[in-house]
Amino acid sequence: LNAFVASGLATVLAGLPLSGHWLMTMLFMVSHHMCSSAMVQMCARVAPNQDVAFVLSAGYVIICMLFANILVKVETVMPCLAGVRWYTSMFFAMAGLIEVEFAGAEEHGFPAGNQVADSFLIHYRDGYTFHAMECLACVWVFYAMFSGVGLLALKYW
């Protein structure tokens, strides 16, 4: 419920959905919210104290923001650092959300949304491209990993 309310507020305040795909937009927002919450809980369970947990979670959020193709285009980053994007949940969440929101959107009869969406598509080896549902699945894999590590840390740490 918390994820739904927070994502709903963020969606309304941002003026989304632009595309009319409210359900898919909310699915991405709620999924990423839950994934981020699981990451913070995992850090709290793994860390020896609250200060270390804060540094771990804040560090991961900063890395996510840098490699989500929003603040910095990953193509402009040194190749040795560009691989970090594959370890950030926000990279997949933003790529899928932008495809859902902008693909097919028109402005003054010009399909500008397709250019925006195409610039955020995730291209993998052998020409494979991640689309919205694959990106959503990746976010849920991160959620499962964060929750699993948090559960193991709670039980055995």
Q: At what angle do helices 132-156 and 89-102 cross, to 10 degrees?
A: 150
Pairwise pLDDT comparison (10 vs 28), residue with the higher score: 28
- Is residue 144's pLDDT more than 90? yes
Q: How much is the pLDDT for 17? A: 60
Chain segment 99-130, per-residue pLDDT in tens: 887 777 666 666 666 666 666 777 677 777 78
Residue 137: pLDDT over 70: yes
Q: Is pLDDT larger for residue 74 or for residue 28? A: 28
Output the pLDDT for position 109.
Answer: 66
Confidence at residue 91, expressed as pLDDT on a 0 to 100 scale: 86
pLDDT > 90 fraction of the chain, expressed in percent and rounded: 24
Please give the model's pTM, rounded to 2 decimal places. Answer: 0.81
Per-residue pLDDT of 31-70, as tens digits, reads 888 898 999 999 999 999 989 999 999 999 998 888 887 7
Average of pLDDT values for 84-89? 86
Q: Read out DSSP for the chain?
A: -HHHHHHHHHHHHHT--SSS-HHHHHHHHHHHHHHHHHHHHHHHHHSSSHHHHHHHHHHHHHHHHHTSSSSS-GGGS-HHHHGGGGG-HHHHHHHHHHHHHHTT--BTTB-HHHHHHHHH-EE-GGG-EE-HHHHHHHHHHHHHHHHHHHHHHHHH-
